[in-house]
Amino acid sequence: MGLGVTFVATAQPIATGLSGTGAEVTDGAKSSERPAWRGASVSYSHNLGVMTLAPAADPFYNPTWSHRLGLFPEWHFGNVVTLRGRFFLSQEFTDSDWTRYRNEVELSDVWLDTVWSGFTEKHSRVHLGADLRVTLPTSKTSQAQSRLFTLGPSLNVSRRFDVLSGLTLIYSARFTWRANQFATRQNQGPTISACGDTRALECLDFINTGVRNPTFDVLHGPVVAFSPHRKVDVTASFLMQRAWLPALAAAPAALMGSTQLDVGTDVATRDLMIFSLSVSYQAFKAVGFSAGAWTFSNQLGENGRYQFPLFNRNTTLFLDATFDLEGAVSSIRKEKS
């Protein structure tokens, strides 16, 4: 999320998994004069699925509208190392397709980043930065995947140009390894009384979904952050992810019988593309607003055809307000003085 020239332009990279790729490059204030918790902020956003605006597009109308509260603590150890946390609380106003009850509050995973501010080569002005991310499985999705934790180092290269209030080009790559207890997603629920032996073939459907959990993945792509005005930022990113799956287990002998059983093709990878575009406005020192869209796109759609990765039925529109704690405290102190 640290991609913009100001803190408010950092909304989209958090959703796409980036961190610590721009704020260290463009921060013009003297860090020694700022508190160690500089950069800590709270955000509140509303999200709307694009198909919500097209009720006649599908045989069954399925709108999606939700809001989300984000907590982003930071602690800086001088100008070199920063610890960052990311955590979200979300709630869907419309009928959810997968929560247990209406308007259920959902938790995200907890992200913990150790960010190295990097260095800038003085002749080319190319900046190199890195971070190490650890996530804890507090979300229902990660718990269904029997996630224990993830470990993800990243490396980013950026270059800032003096165009109007600033233009920054970034290319970032992250490798993520997932520690999963099981190779497939698990079903939650009471034990089926008819299944005396949970290892029996007839009990498999009650234990797991058969969908394999990725073991590791590589996420990479370009990001462009442009500031036509000191209070306005435009940020766009296009990220590509390839995830590697565990190998399929051999078919049980009970299913093989006397004839050879066709178990299908072992697909070893999954591919995903993520596009985001946002426009941000720094209304006050402590408050900024951003609006835009992001799209998570599998390489193949539900009809088996390639889908346009920048905008499709999975696109989500958002409106976000971010409150910078350092700016709020400094404003209060200024009023008192």
**Residue 270 pLDDT > 80:** yes
Q: Could you tell me the pTM of the whole model?
A: 0.79
Q: What is the pLDDT of residue 125?
A: 93
In three state form, how does the secondary structure of the chain look?
CCCCCCHHHHHHHHHHCCCCCCHHHHCCCCHHHCCCCCCCEEEEEEEEEHHHHCCCCCCCCCCCEEEEEEEECEEEECCCEEEEEEEEEEEECCCCCCCCCCCCEEECCEEEEEEEEEEECCCCCEEEEEEEEEEECCCHHHHHCCEEEEEEEEEEEEEEECCCCCEEEEEEEEEEEEEECCCEEECCCCCCCCCCCCCCHHHHHHHEEEEECCCEEEEEEEEEEEEEECCEEEEEEEEEEEEECCCCCCCCHHHHCCCCCCCCCCCCEEEEEEEEEEEEECCCCCEEEEEEEEEEEECECCCCCECCCCCCCCEEEEEEEEEEHHHHHHHHHHHHC
Question: What are the domain boundaries of the chain?
Answer: 7-336
User: For residues 168 and 145, which has the higher predicted lDDT (pLDDT)?
Assistant: 168
Residue 98 confidence class, pLDDT cut points 50, 70, 90: confident
Q: Indicate the average pLDDT of the chain.
A: 81
Q: Provide CATH code, domain 7-336.
A: 2.40.160.40
Q: Tens digits of per-residue pLDDT, 199-243?
A: 554 555 555 666 888 999 999 999 999 999 999 999 999 999 999
Q: Tens digits of per-residue pLDDT, 31-50?
A: 667 889 999 999 999 999 99
Q: Tens digits of per-residue pLDDT, 157-188?
A: 999 999 999 999 999 999 999 999 888 887 76
Q: What is the pLDDT of residue 261?
A: 43
